[in-house]
Amino acid sequence: MKITKPVRHVAALVTSTVMAAALQISTAHGATPADQVQPIAWSTFGTYSAGDAAGQRVKKVLADESRYLIGPNYAGKYTSYMPDGYLNLGGTDEAAVRYPAMTALSVSAALKLGAYNPVDLSAANATIRDVNLIRTISARHKANNTDSTSAWGYGWQTSLWAYYDGMAAWLMWDKLSATDRDRVVNMLVAEANRFTTGNDVYLIGTSGSQLYMTRKDGTVVSAGDSKVEENQWSAALLGLTTAIMPNHPQAAGWKARHAQLLVAATAGPADLTDTSTVDGIKLSTWLQGSNIGDDGTVINHGIVHPIYMILDQGLDEAASAGLANTCAPVAAKRNIDSVYDALVDKKYPTSSGGTKTIYQPGSANIFYPQGNDWGTTFAGYFGGFDNLVSLYGVDNLATTKAATWAELHDNAQIALQARYTDGHTYASSAENSYGGREQRIGVIYGLSYLSLWLNKNSVGNKTCWS
């Protein structure tokens, strides 16, 4: 959710020559890039009625938010087309690319999994709008677009944007043209290949952004700024790309780097001397630093920040893998039990001299020990995480289990949406100052509903961990 940092480009590693060479692998011997894709085998899945309490809540939030995003939100933002037939996104920054990509994934999940509410816009028209977003975002990526005024990609956060658009595209694969499918693949491959150049210290290449907040020797590399989030969203892109294209010539490299970034993301100081092997990686040997406290706390924006202790991106890995009928790396959920316990049970000092837990007993209220610079109202953020924690059993350390918190936070989120007839959540930026706040709610609950759909599928649980 960070938008305070500029998008950083790694020009030396993503020159047009390198990218072109990488993409030519997909088109060797007359094949097209999309020929590498393994579409979702929908016939291997059953159904999910969402008859359980969690399913009912999550489906309602997604149904309302998605109809708002693809209805009035879309109509107000995407009012014109460019000469080449693609939408005018209005720029190349986070607001112009990430926000519609989150919309696309939210709506794709709702449409494909039977959660879409057509009360304001038919499913057919919602599909047309959704596909317009998916195809435009991928077409504007630098792997497909040489126009500097409209091209995006190869930046600090762009792997996350590509992940959102790529997942939406995979869900709606049968609705995309051959050309648009190729462009989605080009985008994913180009973004994924950057990370295989990194090592146990650097995210990409041998300089620039590092994998850790604090190095093994105690050196603070990034004061007040844990790298959990960056590592997890970069890993999400690698996991998705591997799931979509398991037989691609670069897949082995993506898979290996995927596990490395997940291990680094939630590494704590104790892991630096842990001789265990996780997904083929010996922790004490490979890890060169840490990102979370051994007590489960996460530092971001210079404070102990509960918003950044919401590690849903790691648990979402099971959904990407599940759609490909494979298992997610167990590294994706490593130490999340400790972080969740730090939300539920750890006591933090208050200004009055007492102590409080972040999750307030019997309440949807959240205590922010050192404040929250994003606003006041994040019930849905926590509710989505609670549902995933409950599904995957990583509340084993918490005295009050995640299902209890999920009900509290989901119901608070539903109450926020009940204030409006069009399904949106927020009254103003005072509640949440992030510009993509509505889209963020949509994508959180879209992925949470996908996880429920896979876990509680009529043919059995379709998720697993390696």
pLDDT per residue as tens digits for the range 309-358: 999 999 999 999 999 999 999 999 999 999 999 999 999 999 999 999 99
27 pLDDT more than 60: no
The whole-number pLDDT of residue 24 equals 41
Query: Of 228 and 3, which is predicted with more confidence?
Result: 228
32 pLDDT more than 50: yes
Q: Please, how many CA atoms are within 13 Å of residue 192, restricted to the half-sphere of its CB?
A: 32
Q: What are the Cα distances from residue 433, in Å, to 73, 235, 242, 264?
A: 17, 26, 34, 29
Across the chain, mean pLDDT equals 94
Query: Of 28 and 260, which is predicted with more confidence?
Result: 260
**Tens of pLDDT, residues 50-102:** 999 999 999 999 999 999 999 999 999 999 999 999 999 999 999 999 999 99
Span 148-158, mean pLDDT?
Answer: 97
What span, in angstroms and rounded, lies between the C-alpha atoms of 436 and 191?
Answer: 22
Query: Of 1 and 20, which is predicted with more confidence?
Result: 20
Sign of the four-CA dihedral 13, 18, 23, 26: negative
Strands 214-215, 289-290: pairing kind? antiparallel
What span, in angstroms and rounded, lies between the C-alpha atoms of 51 and 34?
Answer: 37
The whole-number pLDDT of residue 455 equals 98
**Tens of pLDDT, residues 275-290:** 999 999 999 999 999 9
DSSP state of 421: S
The whole-number pLDDT of residue 444 equals 99
Q: What is the pTM of this model?
A: 0.95
Q: How many CB atoms lie within 10 A of CB 82?
A: 14
The whole-number pLDDT of residue 30 equals 52
Radius of gyration of the chain (CA): 21
Both tokens of 366, joined, read 């959240």
Span 235-242, mean pLDDT?
Answer: 98
Both tokens of 74, joined, read 């879309």
The whole-number pLDDT of residue 25 equals 41
Q: How many CB atoms lie within 10 A of CB 220?
A: 12
What 3-state DSSP class applies to 257? helix
The whole-number pLDDT of residue 7 equals 33
Query: Of 74 and 466, which is predicted with more confidence?
Result: 74
The whole-number pLDDT of residue 16 equals 45
Q: Which amino acid is at 391?
A: L
